[in-house]
Structure 1
Amino acid sequence: MKTLLKTLCSVDGVSGDEAHVRGCIRAMVEPFADEIREDRQGNLCALRRGTAGGEKVRMVCAHMDEVGFIVTSIDDKGYLSLSPVGGIDLRVALGRQLRVRGEKGSVYGVTGLTPVHIAGDDEKKKTPKQLCLDIGAADRAEAEQVAAVGDFASFVTAPGDFGEGMFKAKAIDDRLGCAVMAELLRTKAPCAYDTWFVFSTREEVGGAGAKAASFALDPSEALVLEGTTAADVAGVEGEKRVCCAGKGAVVSYMDRSAIYSPELFAKLKRLAAENGIPVQTKMLVAGGTDAGSITVSRGGIPCAGISAPVRYLHAPASVVSWADCEAVLKLAALYLRNE
């Protein structure tokens, strides 16, 4: 799974522009799926036939998209104006390298800000509402040769291991969930029931992909695989840490998007305890997932959630523990195998 995650975190796929990452995932899983399809929302859906028979159908979901930016204008000096796509604290984006992708290809740039040597005290305290990207163009005409309004921009971060079993990269949220699902498909992990593995789109801007997929597939129940907020960092204490990297997979009971099925929550906790898989629960209700779309689809779909604690979500570089990733993988495999 390590190689899969490193590969996926190297690919760009801002919400609304998931084609590149979708193609990468399709190449990984298509040979191992009993059926594969793409829908009009851009979701990639791969079917694994179950062993138990019956009419019950499960859905496992992880979103392909990442937070990023979209080009909103190009000025006379060749600078690109960017607006966030998804929830980004613009403080983390200042002075960063971005890659712009569009019909004209890709181009690199650096987000600009007033140099500290000349910025006033008030300016230093302000967070800009919009970013300016310097792509090295001399003027508007030169910039328009390589970029256009509506192009998407992603953080540029080389993925890699560091420290004691830790991994850093962009877009761990939620290429981690995608890597877990790809691994389950590639290793032919047994499924008790017919199971659709849905690599969804646009979670970071409202969950339109999961909403469409869950309505079309009409599963009996669903499991969402995610990366979730771990604030076990310097200066944060108590419940505000939410959850902690290295302490196991996070089993969800509630977040800001959904209340998860109590029965499935209890089932995951039981499976983890019986099989020695380290798990934890959040100490604070925070964040949201595709469960917010899935639980209200059709007449309502019971939903469970397993996440890995991820530090510095929605930033140029996030951090996750490989041990936590393995815990997510093992617990998801047990859920699928059990009736």
Structure 2
Amino acid sequence: MLLESLCNAAGPSGYEGEVRELIKKEIINYVDELKVDKMGNIIAHKKGKGPKVVVDAHMDEVGFIITGFNEDGTLRFQALGGINNKIIPSKVVTIGEDKIPGVIGLKPIHLQSSEERKKGISYSDCCIDIGSNSKEETKELIKLGEYVVFPTEYGTFGHGLIKGKAFDDRMGCYVLIEILKESYDCDLYGVFNVQEEIGERGAFVASYNVKPDIGIALEGTICADMPNIPPHLSATEVGKGPAISIMDRTSIFNDDIAEDIIKVAEKNNISFQRRRAIAGGNDAGAIHMSNDGAKIATVSVPCRYIHSSVSVASIEDIENTKKLMIEYLKTL
């Protein structure tokens, strides 16, 4: 299954190669031109008339990078992207292309002082344990700069739900792949960008070169539909359809495009919701600010427990996002 393969693939920021190869093989027969730029972005072109439209999804996921060796054979590390320090202890990880298994270690609560229990967890408090007995042994297996990811495997559970890692933004990648399999009149670029999680770096490069009139980012977005969260603080809800953003940290989205997308949803009886938060940012901000700028929108799949070792989403939400985007692009 394509979505499962995308989510299970390892591809933190700066190390997207495994994901890139999967996508290239999947889309090569559906586009007129396909290239990978120097940054590592995939730019797939379906030639057409009218406005130049970029539909964007980013290939990278949050992860870690190895920054040092401890005398006992454990490893020092830092984040690639925004991972909450509180969720990292005792998580299983894999390191590098060889997928060497490790566990993120932290001093057990029994040995922590009362002050240590009160303060937040920092990366300097943790290490990655690969079962090595010495620094020398670890150095033979792992080099500085190796990437680290959560190895959580994709799976289904409950009523139409899925769980796994990297839903931000492999769900967007899946939707964009499916979009490229259809035919449109507009001049369409499907762009799979790198390094979104560390500052939308790939999107700045791709957008500068493509120079789109319209840019739409496909995302896995924050969701807080939990019992202890007041409804007005739930940015989106799982099962209520794709979320159309109003604004975020880097963008104020174009009202006309948002209204056009909503009209398409209503006409085709596709469930949708508005994203009721302005936190975060995505590639749309980079598209918005490149060259002469572009009109932008973001359409997202709601995702619980985002930027952690495991997330939850709805299959129906993903399929409705795909339907909505295909029908919208056919109106251009």
TM-score by length of 2: 0.97
Matched residue, 2:149: 154
- After TM superposition, the structure 1 stretch with the greater mean CA deviation from structure 2, 160-169 or 123-132, is 123-132
SS at match of 1:329: helix
Matched residue, 1:338: 331
Deviation at 1:315, TM superposition (A): 0.5
Residues 251 and 279 in structure 1, CA contact (< 8 A), matched pair in contact too: yes
Provide the C-alpha distance between the structure 2 equivalents of 1:337 and 1:257, rounded to a whole number of angstroms. 28
Deviation at 1:6, TM superposition (A): 0.9
Quick check: 1:95 aligned with 2:90? yes
Quick check: 1:17 aligned with 2:2? no
Provide the C-alpha distance between the structure 2 equivalents of 1:271 and 1:80, rounded to a whole number of angstroms. 51
Q: Which amino acid aligns with 2:23?
A: I
Provide the C-alpha distance between the structure 2 equivalents of 1:195 and 1:111, rounded to a whole number of angstroms. 43
Deviation at 1:114, TM superposition (A): 1.1
* Aligned partner of 1:163 among 158, 167, 170: 158
Quick check: 1:202 aligned with 2:195? yes
Runs of 4+ in 1 over 4 A off after TM superposition: none
Matched residue, 2:121: 128
Deviation at 1:321, TM superposition (A): 0.7
* Aligned partner of 1:107 among 80, 100, 108: 100
Provide the C-alpha distance between the structure 2 equivalents of 1:253 and 1:271, rounded to a whole number of angstroms. 17
Matched residue, 1:190: 183
Provide the C-alpha distance between the structure 1 equivalents of 2:114 and 2:21, rounded to a whole number of angstroms. 47
* Aligned partner of 1:316 among 309, 313, 316: 309
Q: Which amino acid aligns with 2:30?
A: F
SS at match of 2:329: helix
Aligned length: 330
Provide the C-alpha distance between the structure 2 equivalents of 1:213 and 1:32, rounded to a whole number of angstroms. 20
Deviation at 1:84, TM superposition (A): 0.8
Matched residue, 1:68: 63
Matched residue, 2:174: 179
Matched residue, 2:268: 275
Quick check: 1:212 aligned with 2:198? no
- After TM superposition, the structure 1 stretch with the greater mean CA deviation from structure 2, 9-18 or 30-39, is 30-39
Q: Which amino acid aligns with 1:235?
A: N
Provide the C-alpha distance between the structure 2 equivalents of 1:284 and 1:111, rounded to a whole number of angstroms. 32
Provide the C-alpha distance between the structure 1 equivalents of 2:165 and 2:37, rounded to a whole number of angstroms. 26
SS at match of 2:77: strand
Quick check: 1:291 aligned with 2:284? yes
Quick check: 1:307 aligned with 2:300? yes
Unaligned runs of 5+ in 2: none
Q: Which amino acid aligns with 1:12?
A: A
* Aligned partner of 1:6 among 4, 7, 32: 4
Deviation at 1:120, TM superposition (A): 2.5
Note the alpha carbon deviations across 1:70-112, whole angstroms, 9 max, x for none: 111011211111111111101111101111115xx33110000
SS at match of 2:256: helix
* Aligned partner of 2:47 among 49, 52, 55: 49
Q: Which amino acid aligns with 2:241?
A: G
Deviation at 1:305, TM superposition (A): 1.3
Residues 245 and 276 in structure 2, CA contact (< 8 A), matched pair in contact too: no
Matched residue, 1:119: 112
Quick check: 1:39 aligned with 2:37? yes
Residues 94 and 111 in structure 1, CA contact (< 8 A), matched pair in contact too: yes
Note the alpha carbon deviations across 1:131-164, whole angstroms, 9 max, x for none: 3100111111111111111111001101100001
TM-score by length of 1: 0.95
Identity of paired residues, percent?
37
